[in-house]
Amino acid sequence: MKKLQVKRKSLLRKVNLPMSKIKQYEVADGKLKRKNQFCPECGDGVFLAVHKDRVSCGKCGYTKFN
């Protein structure tokens, strides 16, 4: 399991993403896949923060309750 994590991080490091962004992506079949949703107000590139009862945007304040 540890070997897989090291391999994943090294693959993401080749794309030159900072560590905060690496947590928002995963590697599937050698390609990057986004884990979180984008903000519908701000558009692509701004992720929504996931809380236990809502998702929210830190940039514009958009909030959607579950």
Is pLDDT above 60 for 49? Answer: yes
Domain ranges of the chain: 1-35, 37-66
Nearest to 47 by CA among 18, 9, 20, 17: 20
| Size (the chain), residues | 66
**The two three-digit tokens of residue 28, written as one number:** 């599937």
pLDDT at 40: 94
Is there a contact between 47 and 39 (Cβ–Cβ < 8 Å)? yes
Nearest CA to 37 out of 21, 55, 19 is that of 55
How many whole angstroms separate alpha carbon 40 and alpha carbon 32? 21
The structure's pTM equals 0.57
Q: Is the pLDDT of residue 24 over 60?
A: yes
